Amino acid sequence: MNKNRLSKTIAAGLNLQMTNEAHASQIYLSYGAWADNYGFVGVANFLFRHAEEERNHMMKIVEYILKRGAEVHITSIPAPPEKPENINNCFQAIFKHEVENTQEIYKLVKMSLDEEDWATWNFMQWFVKEQVEEETMVLNLLNKIKIAGGEKMNGNDLYVFDKDLEKTTDEARSAIDVTAVNP
């Protein structure tokens, strides 16, 4: 009996996305190590936590592929890009990467829609929502950086930003939870 409930295309797409999530984790890990080297402990901590989150996303996909009776293909993970030049550049690069990841997720959503694979379509909705939160979270940080002077942030601005990140929650509020009273 064939227990595989994923088409070849969907299985390949999910395996690719699994590696994309591992790649995202390596990027956060690499940038976190860079930040720690420069003494930005709050930023490093934040990025290390996100490295772990991306790894959890990878595991979600591994588990889903297995649950649907298909094969998981573990391949090499592409190296993270060059280390950032400064804090502003670090979060710009993270935002760019998150947007690229969103595009990859949308491809899988489209693929599952075309194939009428509703289980995968439904599974991918969690990732769509997660990306909205992650993009919002990084955009919020970029706004703070911009207010503090962007590329021109001085030592004091950087100190405050780093301290601030120590306390920043890992999730942006979801639009669905927002009300007029509690925007």
Burial class (CB in 10 A: 0-12, 13-18, 19+), 28: buried
Query: 43 vs 16, 52, 114, 115, CA distance in Å?
Result: 29, 14, 41, 42
**Smallest distance, Å, CB 139 to ligand OFO?**
13
Query: Which CB, 37 or 140, lies closer to ligand OFO?
Result: 140
**Smallest distance, Å, CB 56 to ligand OFO?**
8
**Smallest distance, Å, CB 61 to ligand OFO?**
9
Tokens for 12?
Answer: 């390949």
Query: Which CB, 30 or 101, lies closer to ligand OFO?
Result: 101
**Smallest distance, Å, CB 123 to ligand OFO?**
12
Query: Which CB, 57 or 68, lies closer to ligand OFO?
Result: 57
Query: Which CB, 124 or 153, lies closer to ligand OFO?
Result: 124
- Residues at the contact surface with ligand OFO, assessed by CB under 6 A: 21, 24, 54, 57, 98, 101, 127, 130, 134
Query: Which among 97, 119, 103, 128 is positioned nearest to 11, based on CA atoms?
Result: 119
Asked if 40 and 89 touch (Cβ cutoff 8 Å), the reply is no
